[in-house]
Structure 1
Amino acid sequence: MFSFLKNHPFAVEAFFESSLVLTFAVPKVQLQNLIPECLQLDIFQDEWAFVAVAMVQTKALRPRGFPRVMGNDFCLIGYRVFVRYTNSRGKNLRGLYILKSETDKKKMEFMGNIFTHYKYTTTDINKIEQTNTLEIASIKSKFRMTVGKAEEVPLPEHSPFNDWKEARKFAGPLPFTFTYNPQTKEVLIIEGVRENWIPKPVKVIDYDFEFLRVLNLRNPILANAFIIENIPYYWKKGKTEQWS
Structure 2
Amino acid sequence: MSALHSLRRHPFDVEAHFDFSLVLGYALPAPALTPLLPPGLELDQVGDFGFLAVALVQTRNLRPAGWPRALGQDFFLSGYRVFARLRDRPSIRGLRILRSDANSRIMTWSGNLFTRYSYELCRASVVRSGRRIKVEVDGPASLQVEADLRPAQQPPPGSPFHDLKEARRFAGPLPNTFGWEPETRSLVIVGSVRTNWEPIPVSIE
CA contact (8 A) 1:104 1:123 kept: yes
Tell me which stretches of 4 or more aligned residues in structure 1 moved more than 4 Å: none
Residue 139 of structure 1: CA displacement?
3.2
Is residue 51 of structure 1 aligned with residue 57 of structure 2? no
**Separation (CA, whole Å) in 1 of partners of 2:179 and 2:111:** 14
**Separation (CA, whole Å) in 1 of partners of 2:72 and 2:151:** 34
Q: Output aligned runs, 1:1-244, within 5 Å.
A: 1=2, 2-45=4-47, 47-86=48-87, 90=89, 92-140=91-139, 141-205=141-205
Residue 186 of structure 1: CA displacement?
1.8
Q: 1:10 to 1:139 in 2, by over 3 A?
A: closer
Q: 1:74 to 1:34 in 2, by over 3 A?
A: same
CA contact (8 A) 1:161 1:167 kept: yes
Compute the TM-score of the two structures, normalised by the length of structure 1.
0.79
Compute the TM-score of the two structures, normalised by the length of structure 2.
0.93
Q: Which has the higher contact order (CA 8 A, sep 6+)?
A: 1
CA contact (8 A) 2:98 2:118 kept: no
Q: 1:178 to 1:151 in 2, by over 3 A?
A: closer
CA contact (8 A) 1:154 1:203 kept: no
Structure 1: gaps (5+ residues):
206-244
1:101 alignment partner AA: S
Structure 2: gaps (5+ residues):
none
2:45 alignment partner AA: I
CA contact (8 A) 1:83 1:95 kept: yes
Seq. identity, %: 41
Give the CA RMSD over aligned residues.
1.5
Q: 1:55 to 1:151 in 2, by over 3 A?
A: closer
**Separation (CA, whole Å) in 2 of partners of 1:191 and 1:50:** 20
1:138 alignment partner AA: V
**Separation (CA, whole Å) in 1 of partners of 2:90 and 2:158:** 33
CA contact (8 A) 2:84 2:96 kept: yes
